Amino acid sequence: MAPERFYYQVSAASDLYAIGVVLYELLMGARPFAGSYNQLMVSHLNHEVKLPAAVPLAMQKILKKATEKLIPRRFQNATEMKASILAARQSFTAAELHDRFPKSPLSTSSSEYVPRRPISLSRACTALSLSPKDAPTAHLTGAFHQDVYRWPLSPTAELERLTPQYHWHLEHNVVQILQTVAGAVAVTAHAVYQLQEPESVQLLMAFDEPIAVLPGSDRWLIVRSAVSGADYWLVDVLSKVPVEPYWFTLLAPSEPTYALALNERYFLIAAVNGHQTDLQFVTRWGQSLGQLHLQSPIHQLATSQIPNCFLAQAGTEKTDLLIVHLRPYRVIRCRLDIMFEWLGELVTGFVAISTTGQMRLVNFQGQVIGQVTNLPIPRAIAFQAPYHIWLTSEQSGKPQLHRLDIRDLNLDIVF
């Protein structure tokens, strides 16, 4: 609360004083003054905001000017303050702020995974996919190079007694498995196939260049060129075979880009540009809707069950989890102590797992609430809400399939 507010005086500079207080809290994790109403009034009227030496000099100048007691000494308008902040932003990186202001550890629950009896596999599994939650029957689909197997899942079935229900054989190695309204889809380096029951394979479309299919859509397959990064094909899995995809192209920058289908109508392209990422929103027909900017490099995108929300791996060290809400636009950053490879969502919130078998659980507010060590070294992972994680590993040359239940991990979390 600006000093003049205690005398019932209001100006634009009063709001800028409040913004300075918010900026201080964002950097320091606490407000500059605390206490009763009378104590706060005395502090805001008479005491200067104390700034530790860890605050970059450019930010110290901004905070001091924004929280000046006398109105003429403050920023006179928001444009002036914004320009000062943007100029200061160019003098340091988010990673430097991270180093200067390490996040204090929260009270998290820790556990070490105790191996249970897994399923022995004949070969290493390269991809996993679970049936949609609204599917009539639950099943798990796994890719083993050129072969794809499906296991039926039952809440009462014992893990070691699971046996494949279907088997499909393809001519090339499978790199992705996606679940659609028309059933499972297998993606190879140059083609997309529909896996039909009982065990037939239908070619949907073939390409002359390497491709990848964006996750996130149940009906529309958005296929992206892995070579140019600018060519896209739209495929309706409910259309008649052979499928005639709709082709469109987008201006793709030379920097690394990532893409994600947000829903059935829109998808997202993230282009890394130095220490920031440009987010471009596009309709499934290739029409650009606009851009947003994140002050951090992105290395991975993942879907969320929350409407108008997605997840991202970010930061120069690839240890930051971003929870990005689009309506209204809000970004929650959670700094983890692991470089994670897989991102998923369960009833407790979000789950990050590293290639070394480290797992962190983050609630929907972006706070770390649990950590698990000593997981089997993952090769492929699928998340089955509300409680399960399916994981394939290879221990001493023996491929295995594991089912983890977060309720059995001895974490201090109320389910």
Q: Rounded CA gap, 343 and 336, in Å? A: 13
Q: How confident is the model at residue 13 (pLDDT cuts 50, 70, 90)?
A: confident
How confident is the model over 58-83, as pLDDT tens digits?
889 999 999 999 999 999 899 999 99
- Does residue 93 surpass a pLDDT of 80? no
Q: Rounded CA gap, 199 and 379, in Å? A: 25
Measured CA distances, 153 to 13, 340, 384, 389 (Å): 62, 27, 11, 13
Q: How many Cβ atoms from other residues are within 10 Å of residue 248's Cβ?
A: 16
CATH number at 3-92: 1.10.510.10
> What pLDDT score does 116 carry?
80
Q: How confident is the model at residue 102 (pLDDT cuts 50, 70, 90)?
A: low
- Does residue 351 surpass a pLDDT of 80? yes
Total-model pTM: 0.76
- For 63, the token pair is 């905070």
Share the mean pLDDT of the chain: 87
The CATH-assigned architecture of domain 110-408 is: 7 Propeller (2.130)
- For 205, the token pair is 């479309």
* Residue ranges covered by each domain of the chain: 3-92, 110-408
Torsion of CA 11, 13, 15, 18, to 10 degrees: -130
How confident is the model over 154-186, as pLDDT tens digits?
766 666 677 888 999 999 999 999 999 888 999
Q: How many Cβ atoms from other residues are within 10 Å of residue 257's Cβ?
A: 19
Q: Is 188 helix (H, G, I), strand (E, B) or coil?
A: coil
> What pLDDT score does 56 carry?
84
